[in-house]
Each structure stands twice: as structure tokens, then as C-alpha cells.
Amino acid sequence: MFLRNFKKKFFRRSQVDITPDDIFLDSSNLPDFDKSQLEGQVEKTISMKTILLVGYFFISILFLFIFKIWSLQLNQGNFFLARGNNNRLEHQIIFSERGVIYDRNGKELVWNSFEKEEGQDFFKREYLEYDGLAHILGYVTYPLKDNSGNYFQTDYYGKSGIEEFFNEKMSGENGLKIIEKDALFNVISESSIKSPKCGESVTLSVDAEIQNQLYGFIEELSERVGFNGGSGIIMDINNGEILSMVSYPEYGLKIMSEGKEKQAIADFNLDEKKPFLNRSTMGLYTPGSIVKPFLSVAALNENLISPYKKIYSSGSISIQNPYFEDLQTVFKDWKAHGWTDMKEAIAVSSDVYFYSIGGGYEDQVGLGIAKINEYIKLFGFSEETGVEGFIEERGVIPNPEWKAKVFDGEDWTIGNTYHTAIGQYGFQITPLQAVRAVSSIANNGKLLRPTILKQENGNIDYKQLNIPEEYFEVVKDGMRLAVTDGTAKGLNVSFIDISAKTGTAERGVKKDKVNSWILGYYPSNEPRYAFVVIMEEGPVKNTIGGLYVMRQLLEWMNINTPEYLK
């Protein structure tokens, strides 16, 4: 009985009901099911276990969110409240005003614009629209923003001249303010937590009017005749103040500071006349005959010649060629001057006279190249002058060591000494060195440190040359004679007595270019100012140069700034 009941239950559980469709279903009448769409598949119910697992998962997520909300709102609520408030506070720089630059008369040369462009928080520099100021003043770079509008450079930076040298003094200190904004970025309030400190102003010794005119005269002559460039300097011989220091050509200050006119900046860089070169302090030039006054002082101080001894110039001297016994080497004068003493030799610029006192000739003993070097250095050549704010070149005084280095071990010859004695060969000086040196003749031996700043305290920085005053007087008489009856007669004006020395130095392989110099001082009896003008690489056949520029300037000053000529 038990066995029969078990079999019934067992076979009933394993029995599968067969529908009429299944009975008549065969391979020829299968339904056209789209199995990719799950047609013809038997649906199975989801088990209770699966439902419970999914429920537990979502309940866990819910508890996690509840815990996080509790943590943020209750446990860390105060922290995030403070942080949220801070996010509404914007720190903003208050840019300081950069110091103003004035000329000696209080004229503003550089100042700050008070009209800001859109999105600009700082003051841009404005410049006096006078020529000749670029190399003295220099330019700046402004604070810079990144692509997000945040400042990564918060200061001005001077790039040359006074702007660079006194950058820290003129910069001042930026301030800081806090701006509170709402969620829509509307400003609610502003408050300053650090006030800006304005930069200090600088007063220069330069007269802007004279600077502008001197530049204009150099520019006009350069363009008319074909000079490559030029420099002009006027310096107070008593305290070293620079009244004017011009370098032509120059660059545009505003263009360089703004930095937007890329083509104009490229043109400055590619210009063969080198507008970025400050010729006054970095231009190296063969001096030519302007060294003759300094050689005269040297010869007198070494007791090599009396100022009254006359040396004859027939137009040249000849010496034995050291390499060929049957040949002589000829050293020419620029003309036959006849018999000249020291004053006359300076006035007419006799080369033969200075060959003789420089290297020696016949019965006249010369200084020799070692003494020439010693005295030329004594007058400040081949060294930096110490002027504030400018890069300076030191220059070259030819000597045997220099020649051996430059010319692959060649020996020094007497001819090299002759050429050095008249400012030729490898001689190289700057205009600022020249005006400093001639000042020391005018003031009887005070070698001043030039300054571009107006002197308020009366302190004068100089080195006293140990040379008797009477020797300077001989040279000064010669330089005055050059104006009244010599090579500098173009400066023999009626309204003031000028003392001067000209110089012409040949340039180029073909000697078809010349540097034209004039240097001197005024008034002759009681000197106040020294001057130098160099016109760079003009045509050799041209007859006007540095002297012409200085004559124009003196005539302009006589009318417009006579206070400097008294």
C-alpha cells in the first residue's frame, strides 16, 4: 500500500503535461520566433532570495546617505559654513603707484596714467613726448595675468635705464582688499586690509629741453649726410651732473612697455643702426685726435718736452723699416704744419708733433707705449665711469699684450706706438669716458664720477690727479687756440668763449667712413660744462660732423637756455 502511493506521487511529479499544440508540432511547423527579441523563451519568476538581496543593497545605500548627511550637517557643519563664507570673499591686489621721474627743472618725464583700460587694475606709464629720452629712462613690463584672469606677475619690472636701476625704489608696495560677493557674484562689500605704498620719485640732472634739441640736431645731420648714428653729452665739470646724454637712434618707450606692436618691436631689433644700443655708454669708437690733449699732459708731467719747444712737420716722418734695410716707413701728417709748439700742435692737430712725443723721433724722446697706457688710464679710459643706471663698455688701449692676443703673437712696433699716440690703431673709447676725461682738464685734475641724478646734498665723488695745475693750463690754452685759430674755429661764437679739440678717425676696410668728434668745455676762463659729440661712420668726403652739431646746440642754448652759458 505504501509502495503504491509512493509510485503515484513520484510519477505524477515527473510527468509533464503535453498540450495539443505540442502533439502536432514538428520540424515543419515551428513558429517563426525572433530569438534575438527573446521570443519563444520560457519566462521564469524571480526568486525571493534575489529580491531580498536587492532590497538589502538599496537599504544600505539609504543608510549611507543618511549617515553622510548627518556627518556634513551636524558633525562638520560649522567647518563647511565657514568655508562657504570664505568662498564668497575675493582677495584683490591694490596696485601701488610707481614713482614719477622728473628732469632737473621739475618737468615730468614719466608718470602714471589715471585712465585705466577695461579689465586693467594697474597704472600704465606715460612718457613726455620729447626725443632723446629713451636710453636714459628705459621702459617697464607691466603686471601679467594668466588665461584664468589671475595675476601671476604682480609687479612692474624696469628693463633698462633709470626704470631698471631704481626699480625697487620706484615700485612701492602693493596693497590688498577683500571683496564680498553673493551667490550671483554681486558685490556686497569691499574692505582694504593692506593699503598700497606709493613708490619714490626720482629727479634727474638732465634738462629735457636740451636733451630734445641735441637729439634733433644729431638726427637731422645723420639723415641728411648719412651718418650711422651719434651721441652727445654735456656734463657739469664741478659735480659730475649730466645735463644731457643723447644716443641716436633710439626706440619707442611706449611701444616697448606696452609690448603689443610686435612688428614695430621686430623692426627695432632688426634695424642695422641698432636703436637699442646706448652709444653714450656702450658705443666704442676710435678716438682719433681727441686724445692729443691727454698725451700733452703726460709728456709735460714726465718732463719729456718744454711746452715752448717747436717740432717741425713737413707733412710726414720716415723711419727705417725693421724688416727691409733699403726701405723706410712713412707716417703721414694730415697736412704740413711747419714749426709748432705744444699749444699750436693741439690747435692745428699736428700728427708729427704727437708721433714725436708719443713714440720719439730724432732728438725728441717719446713716452713709449707703457707710459701712454698709464696716462690714458689715469684719465679714466678703459674703465667704467660709475654712472648710475647704465651698462658701460670699458674700451681698449692698444699695447703689446693686446696686439699679441689679437694678432696671433705679433710683436709690437714703433709704428704701433705712433698710431696709438694719435688715437688710432685698436684704440676704443666711449663718449662718456671722453667727456669725463676732458672735464678733468677743465677743472685741473678732478676725475669725477658722472651722475644722472640731480645733486641735492653737495657731495661730489671724484679722484684728484696728481698733476701740477700749470700743465693743465698749457693744454687749455691749446684748446682755446683750436677754437680761435685752429681746427675748431666753427665754435668761435660771439656770445661765449669755447675751448675744444676735434678728432677724425677713419673707419672701414676701404677707409671710406669716418667718425667725427668734438670735445671741449665752456666758458674757457671759468669752465662750468664739458661736452662731447661723436657722429658715427659718415662718408669720408663729408666736411661737417660733431662740430656742426655742437655749434647748432650752442646757438639754440644762447636763445632758449642762456643760464647754462653764463
Q: What is the pLDDT along the chain (566 residues), one digit of tens a residue?
A: 544 554 555 445 445 555 555 555 555 555 565 655 555 555 667 777 777 777 777 888 887 777 767 665 666 666 655 555 555 666 778 888 999 999 999 999 999 998 877 767 888 999 999 999 999 999 999 888 888 777 888 888 999 999 999 999 999 888 887 766 655 556 665 666 778 899 999 999 999 999 999 999 999 999 999 999 999 999 999 999 999 999 999 999 999 998 889 999 999 999 999 999 999 999 999 999 999 999 999 999 999 999 999 999 999 999 988 778 788 899 999 999 999 999 999 999 999 999 999 999 999 999 999 999 999 999 999 999 999 999 999 999 999 999 999 999 999 999 999 999 999 999 999 999 999 999 999 999 999 999 999 998 878 899 999 999 999 999 999 999 999 999 999 999 999 999 999 999 888 777 888 999 999 999 999 999 999 999 999 998 888 999 999 999 999 999 999 999 98
Domains, the chain: 90-203 (3.90.1310.10), 208-564 (3.40.710.10)
d(CA 114, CA 118): 13
**What gap in Å lies between CA 326 and CA 318, rounded to an integer?**
13
Element (H, E) at 262: helix 262-270
- For 549, the 3-state DSSP assignment is helix
CB neighbourhood size of 75 (10 A): 9
As a whole number of angstroms, the distance between CA 451 and CA 432 comes to: 11
- Cα 382 to chain centroid, rounded: 21
pTM: 0.82
Q: Dihedral through CA 211, CA 545, CA 437, CA 159, nearest 10?
A: 40
**Angle of helix 351-359 versus helix 414-421 axis, rounded to 10:** 130
- Beta partners for 233? 245, 532
392 grid coordinates: 658701460
Q: Give the DSSP H/E element, type plus range, for residue 351.
A: helix 351-359
Tell me, what amino acid is at 397? I
Cβ proximity of 190 and 196 under 8 Å = no
Calpha distance 286→504 (Å, rounded): 9
For residues 405 and 514, give the distance between their C-alpha atoms in angstroms, rounded to a whole number: 26
CA distance 133 to 211: 7
Question: What length does the chain have?
Answer: 566
What distance in Å separates the CA atoms of residue 87 and residue 490, rounded to the nearest whole number? 76
Cβ atoms of 515 and 547 within 8 Å: the answer is no
Question: Cα separations (Å) of 326 from 316, 322, 361, 398, 493?
Answer: 19, 10, 19, 29, 51
Which among 412, 418, 416, 478 has a CA at the least distance from the CA of 442?
A: 478
Pairing mode, strands 157-158 and 151-153: unpaired
Q: Is 280:231 a contact under the CB 8 Å cutoff?
A: yes
Please name the amino acid found at residue 432.
Answer: L
Torsion from C-alpha of 274, 278, 284, 285, nearest 10 degrees: 80
Query: Which pLDDT score is estimated for 23?
Result: 52
Which DSSP state fits 396?
B
pLDDT at residue 48 in the model: 77
Q: Which residues contact 443 (CB under 8 A, 6 or more apart)?
A: 237, 238, 527
Burial-class residue 222 by CB neighbours within 10 Å (0-12, 13-18, 19+): buried
Whole-number pLDDT of residue 123: 86
Q: What is the DSSP track for 417-480?
A: HHHHHTT-TT-BB-HHHHHHHHHHHHTTSEEEPPBSBPPSS----EEE----HHHHHHHHHHHH
Unique residue bearing C-alpha cell 677724425: 504
Torsion over CA: 298, 301, 303, 309 (sign): positive
